[in-house]
Structure 1
Amino acid sequence: MKKLLNMFWTFFKIGAFTFGGGYAMIPLIEIEVVNKKKWLSKEDFLDVIVISQTFPGALAVNSSVFIGYRTCGLLGAIIGLLGVVLPSFFIILLVAVFFMKFRDYYYVDLVFKGISAAVPMLILIAVVSLSKSLKKNYANLIIILISMGSILFFNVHPVIVILLSGLYGVIFLGKKVK
């Protein structure tokens, strides 16, 4: 029971203090789940992030469900989900009730400008952190360059890039099962 409450509180804090969506949450989730709590190894965390990205829905929600399930089974998945979703629910409720009255205030506008400036840095930290556990070889470098080029220059949808990268991994990088 203590572990479930700890999990709820961990994901509640992450959900409450992270702006900018799931990618901005990755560094915080990693610090809590891998470094502090040691619920997952760095490699397992990377697997959870990859799987979370391929499933429909928000990255933070998917990763909290997968981490909760991996740590404490079905109840852990539910607790992780509630922990990460409830702060947003309460914040949106408060915003709906009070924000419209204060939106045009100078200092409220400044707060949101400051938050929006920090979000790209949180995403960059997530990219750097995840890239550290990626094997440094030519195959991965080629996949990264082709993926970036396809999305940036040829407007290929990211879902197609993810699916094709996964297919490439299965066909060319997979280990034979004995």
Structure 2
Amino acid sequence: MSKTIYILFISFLQIGLFSIGGGYAIIPLIQEQVVNSYNWLTLQEYTDIITISQMTPGPLVVNTASFVGIRLAGIPGAIAATLGSILSGFIISIFLYKFFMKHKDIDSISNILKGLRSSSVGLIASAASTIILIAFFGTASIGVKGFSINITAIILFVISLFLLRKYKLNPILIMIFTGVIGLFFY
């Protein structure tokens, strides 16, 4: 059992180290480890775990590591796989933070940070626009023929935005409110 826990940790440490792009980009790498290399799961089991990981809150690689670890070695396996998946990203983030903070007064480093900030805003805006298009029009692309406008989603969005901005309500309460309303309208 302890050998399995060690192998889970090392395997997910490698996955975390090379998971640049995250999300869907990491799915083939995880599959290579858990299905092809170690035969821990069948392809069907792996597909089921990926599906569950996408439905639960949190990053895909962390959720998948937790589910694979618990499936193979219980709670200790889940802890080992999860720690392995986040440890390398954590260490790299700390290193980059210290580097940028030490050299932030250098113009080129300052410009790099400004560029990263700008691109982060762009990535967040892109993700938000995609979610809005899917929620309101049922498509992720502008200009697709045959889309339908979801009036209920637009009304819920406007009401939620109003409650958040005007009355500063807790976002969790808004999510519960809209979830309950969604039960009746969807």
Pairwise TM-score range, normalised by the shorter structure? 0.5 to 0.7
Partner letter of residue 83 of structure 2? L
1:7 and 2:41 are equivalent in the alignment: no
Q: Secondary structure at the match of 1:19?
A: coil
Q: Deviations over 1:150-176 (max 9, x none)?
A: 24156989xxxxxxxxxxxxxxxxxxx
Change in Cα spacing, 1:154 to 1:84, as seen in structure 2 (3 Å) is farther
Structure 1 stretches lacking a partner, 5+ long = 113-145, 158-178
- 2:95 maps to 94
Once the 2 structures are TM-superposed, how far is the Cα of residue 103 of structure 1 from its aligned partner? 9.3
Letter aligned with residue 104 of structure 1:
S
Q: 1:20 to 1:154 in 2, by over 3 A?
A: farther
What is residue 159 of structure 2 aligned with on the other side? none
1:104 aligns with 2:108: yes
How far is the alpha carbon of 1:2 from its aligned partner?
A: 1.2
User: Structure 2: how far apart are the matches of 1:9 and 1:155?
Assistant: 48
1:72 aligns with 2:73: yes
Letter in 2 for 1:98: F
Higher Cα Rg, which structure = 2
Alignment of 1:39 with 2:40, yes or no, is yes
The count of residues paired between Structure 1 and Structure 2 equals: 119
| Distance of 1:11 and 1:39 partners within structure 2 | 13
Relative to the length of structure 1, the TM-score reads: 0.59
> Per chain length, whose mean CA-contact separation is higher, i.e. which structure has more relative contact order (CA < 8 Å, sep 6+)?
1
**Residues 70 and 155 of structure 1: is their aligned pair in 2 closer, same or farther, counting only changes over 3 Å?**
farther
- Partner residue, 1:150: 138
Alignment partners' CA distance in 2, 1:88 and 1:154 = 41
> Is there any run of 5+ residues in structure 2 with no aligned partner, and where?
117-133, 141-146, 154-186
Q: CA RMSD in A?
A: 2.9
TM-score (norm 2): 0.57
Go from structure 1 to structure 2 and tell me whether the alpha carbon gap of 1:68 and 1:98 turns closer, same or farther (over 3 Å shift).
same
Distance change (3 Å), C-alpha of 1:39 and 1:150:
same
5 Å-filtered alignment, 1:40-59, equals: 40-59=41-60
Q: Are the structure 2 counterparts of residues 90 and 154 from structure 1 closer, same or farther at C-alpha, using a change threshold of 3 Å?
A: farther
Counterpart code for 2:74 = G
Distance in 2 between residues matched to 1:92 and 1:6, nearest whole Å: 24
Identity of aligned residues (%): 40
